[in-house]
């Protein structure tokens, strides 16, 4: 991830907060490669994970400053690739002819993929892992044309025993 920076933002779980965060990137002309958001273990908060394309440290610090100005943002962190876990979910529909179905299923097992649908001439599988691992896995399926593919974007978490933020709801209520 040479020019990719993974940002994690803890925000209040309010309508429009994702739009305000993504709108900031649009207005400033920053490039987002992926963005994902989901409620946390505390339903009052959402965690937004962004993969930002930049080689410029000044631009990165500007992004952090601008995000910090959004009222609903509680905490922002740049997740270092050496101290964080990044994963995404991939769902792929492959063209699989009946005569090669057994070989295809064996290949999915060897690559830790879950088969979620098998039709007359296609199969849908899911897999999770780092973006690089998923890309490598797809190369192993070169004999099976991809009909459709979707990926969630990166979810990331710091690899440590401490929580992203100590939750003190009283401190965060306006």
* Number of structural domains found in the chain: 2
Residues 168, 145 share a domain: no
Counting Cα atoms < 13 Å in the Cβ hemisphere of 63 gives: 28
Mean pLDDT of the chain: 89
Residue 152, pLDDT score: 92
Residues 164, 146 share a domain: no
pLDDT in tens, 2-40: 588 899 999 999 999 999 999 999 998 888 999 999 988
Residue 158, pLDDT score: 86
What's the gap between Cα 130 and its chain centre?
9
Residues 95, 53 share a domain: no
Q: Phi/psi of residue 79, each to 5°?
A: -90, 115
Residues 140, 96 share a domain: yes
Residues 144, 75 share a domain: no
Q: What's the pTM?
A: 0.80
Residues 38, 53 share a domain: yes
Residues 144, 130 share a domain: yes
What is the domain-level CATH number for residue 107? 3.30.70.1150
Residues 79, 103 share a domain: no
For residues 173 and 42, give the distance between their C-alpha atoms in angstroms, rounded to a whole number: 14
Residues 90, 71 share a domain: no
42: containing domain = 4-83+159-172
């Amino acid at each position: 991830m040479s020019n990719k920076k993974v940002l994690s933002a803890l925000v209040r779980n309010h309508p429009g907060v994702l739009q305000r965060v993504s709108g900031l990137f649009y207005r400033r002309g920053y490039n987002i490669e992926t963005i994902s958001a989901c409620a946390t273990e505390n339903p009052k908060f959402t965690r937004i994970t962004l993969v930002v394309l930049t080689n410029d440290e000044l631009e990165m610090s500007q992004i952090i400053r601008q995000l910090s100005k959004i009222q609903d943002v509680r905490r922002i962190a740049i997740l270092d690739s050496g101290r964080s876990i990044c994963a995404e979910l991939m769902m792929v529909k492959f063209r699989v002819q009946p005569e090669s179905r057994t070989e295809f299923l064996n290949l999915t097992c060897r690559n830790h993929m879950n088969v979620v649908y098998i039709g007359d001439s296609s199969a849908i599988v899911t897999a999770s892992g780092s973006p690089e691992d998923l890309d490598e896995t797809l190369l192993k399926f070169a004999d099976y044309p991809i009909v459709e593919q979707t990926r969630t974007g990166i979810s990331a978490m710091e690899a440590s025993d401490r929580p992203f933020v100590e939750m003190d709801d009283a401190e965060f209520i306006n």
